[in-house]
Amino acid sequence: MYVLCSPCVLNPALRAEGITRQSDLDLFRQVIARCDRFGIGIVPLPCPETLYLGQERKPGTFLERLNTPAFMRLMDRLDEGVNDIIRERGPPLCIIGVNSSPTCGVTSTYYGEEAGRPAKREGRGVFLSRLPEIPAFDVAVFARYRVYLAAPLFSEAERSFNASVARTLGSHLFDVHLPQETGDDCDTRDIREQERLFSVNKTALDTSDFIVAIIDGADADSGTAWEMGYAFARGKPVIALRTDFRRVGHHEQVNLMLEQSAKVVGSVKEVLAALNSPCLKTESR
């Protein structure tokens, strides 16, 4: 398994002068960490801008700096090189691009002002647009892969279901913190163990990118509700999984406050879609 990746993720010095922030570097490191964690090979794409304009260059749009026959011929050669890689290695899991880039943007690109349209527009950059059949993810999406799985864990059925969800998330390249695997699985705990479990789980909440919470039952589990509220207050996205068909009212399934602070879904596949799993697009090809 491998990904094609914008080369600046591995070498930020390839980017135009003055545009790289610490938050960008943090995202690049997280992308590399996810690939390392799951044994995903990283194959850097060539950088058309660097090859055409040089490494020391000012930021600019496609229309300002790159809209020339010579640049188009360069992209033709680079495109053929990428297709050679794909023929040799097979299709990649996805492309990891960098939004706003004139060449490697995924959902936004600085194309340039044209016919009354703003310089920044929706869509892929001019290089990634040559590979439309390959799913592409912006670094800010692919870098978010750490999941805290909040759920009741008091019965064998609950623990088995939690473990099954965690395995599925893991198979989709998400690193899952499952409290029942940290020792939170019995009622015979002294105060020091209570404090340890609270600290371990709170730290996992603080460092997670997403919280997936299971809210089945006549009422949501109180510990799960606390974890959801804490995560929401910290500005973290919460995805609530409810497979229970019972409802408490016309406009809510189990709890108004929990549902308004989370995206409620009804299946594990919907959880994966909400998490932007790169494997879903691969499976659909």
The model's pLDDT over 133-176, given as tens digits with 9 standing for 90+, comes to 999 999 999 999 999 999 998 888 999 999 999 999 999 999 99
pLDDT digits (tens, 9 = 90+) for 220-253: 899 999 999 999 999 999 999 999 887 777 777 7
Q: Give ranges for CATH 3.40.50.450 in the chain.
A: 146-284
pLDDT digits (tens, 9 = 90+) for 68-106: 999 999 999 999 999 999 999 999 999 999 999 999 999
> Can you give the pTM of this predicted structure?
0.90
What is the model's pLDDT at position 251?
73
Among 18-32, 104-118, 130-144, 183-197, the minimum mean pLDDT is found in: 183-197
What is the model's pLDDT at position 182?
84
Average pLDDT over residues 183-187: 66
Is residue 281's pLDDT more than 90? Answer: no
pLDDT digits (tens, 9 = 90+) for 247-257: 777 777 788 88
Q: Does domain 146-284 have CATH number 3.40.50.300?
A: no
| Spatial distance between the Cα atoms of 4 and 279, rounded to a whole number of angstroms | 14
